[in-house]
Structures are given as C-alpha cells and as structure tokens.
C-alpha cells in the first residue's frame, strides 16, 4: 500500500470512528472527469434513419483508492441530468449510461440509465433521473476504477425531415455511503 492510500485510509478511519453510526457520506462529481468542451455533443441523423452517437466514449473514472481497507460501500445514489436542444426536425433522443469494471467495455453491458427526451424545434427538453439501490452500481463504486460510456440514440418523427440538435450533460454525480468495515 502506498503512502497516499494509507493516509486516505487513516483519514477515513478517523472520520468513521467519530461518527455515531460509523458511516461516511461522499458526493462524487463524476461529470467533473469530463472536460467542459466534452459535455455538449452535436447529434444529427438523416431523414427516416435511426442513429446512435457516442456522447462519452469509454471514460475511465478513478474512485476511492485506499477506502476499501477501512470501509465498504453501503449504498450509491447515481443521478444523471441532460438537456436536449433541437435546431432542425422533431423526434426523440434516448440517452443511455453504461458503467463497467476496469476490464470490461461499458458498451458490452446493459445500460444503467435508459431515458428518452423529446426534440422539438425551438424547445429544450430536460432529463433528471436518479438510480438508487442498484446492486451492480454499488459493486462498481466499490472498485478503485470503473469505465463509463454514454450514447444518444436518435429517432426522427418525420421520415422526410432530418433531425439535428445537441445534448448537454448537466449532471452526473453519485452520493456514496460507506460503512466502517473494521
């Protein structure tokens, strides 16, 4: 174990020792792992053609190094927020969030989030979804590293009109509750 891991473990142990119910609550801003320029992605498809575009391409997320020695993950609440703005055509965009361990391609797993927004010229549609109590998400947040991908599936309403706009990720965070394991 390196010095940094030991120091983090000691800080967590001290924090847990001072808590009455031996829990540590951390809010993790997963969106901060993406550069601000990568949070907005143009989306477009030809008339009558369903298309899937990648919003986040296999991003590695480093998590809680050193915490597994002193605390186990009790629960995870994962929240995703997005805004879809359309400039041409009408239709839907389905956002899918995929999470996987360090050795697995996230797109080879079932999505953790699968939600649809509506695209209409001149209007924005906002998505706010929260996942709580998912054992697979809890297991992934127990690891030191996980991988994430987000896709946007476009479906135009009119087979004669193209669909174009953009999707902006406004929130991707997690509240992780640790319980002392010693």
CATH number of the domain bearing residue 142 = 2.60.120
Two tokens at 164? 């174009």
How far is it, in rounded angstroms, from Cα 74 to Cα 86? Answer: 40
Say what the pTM is. Answer: 0.81
How far is it, in rounded angstroms, from Cα 180 to Cα 140? Answer: 18
Backbone angles phi, psi at 27, to 5 degrees: -105, 120
Question: Highest mean pLDDT: which of 5-14, 19-28, 109-118, 137-146?
Answer: 109-118
pLDDT above 50: residue 10: no
* pLDDT tens figures, 146-178: 899 999 999 999 889 899 999 999 999 989 888
Query: What domain count does the chain have?
Result: 1
pLDDT above 90: residue 113: yes
Structural domain including 41 reads 3-180
Query: Beta-strand (E) ranges in the chain?
Result: 23-29, 40-45, 51-62, 71-88, 91-101, 113-119, 124-132, 145-156, 163-180
């Amino acid at each position: 174990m390196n010095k940094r891991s030991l120091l983090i473990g000691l800080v967590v142990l001290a924090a847990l020792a001072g808590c009455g119910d031996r829990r540590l609550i951390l809010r993790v801003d997963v969106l901060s792992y993406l550069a601000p320029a990568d949070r907005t992605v143009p989306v477009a498809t030809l008339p009558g053609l369903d298309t899937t575009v990648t919003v986040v391409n296999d991003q590695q997320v480093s998590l809680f190094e050193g915490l597994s020695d002193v605390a186990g993950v009790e629960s995870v609440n994962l929240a995703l927020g997005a805004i879809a703005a359309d400039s041409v055509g009408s239709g839907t965009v389905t956002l899918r969030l995929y999470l996987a361990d360090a050795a697995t391609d996230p797109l080879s797993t079932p999505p953790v989030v699968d939600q649809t927004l509506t695209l209409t010229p001149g209007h924005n549609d906002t998505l706010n979804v929260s996942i709580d109590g998912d054992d697979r998400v809890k297991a992934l947040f127990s690891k030191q590293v996980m991988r994430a991908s987000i896709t946007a599936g476009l479906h135009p309403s009119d087979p004669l009109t193209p669909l174009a706009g953009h999707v902006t990720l406004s929130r991707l965070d997690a509240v992780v509750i640790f319980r002392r394991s010693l």
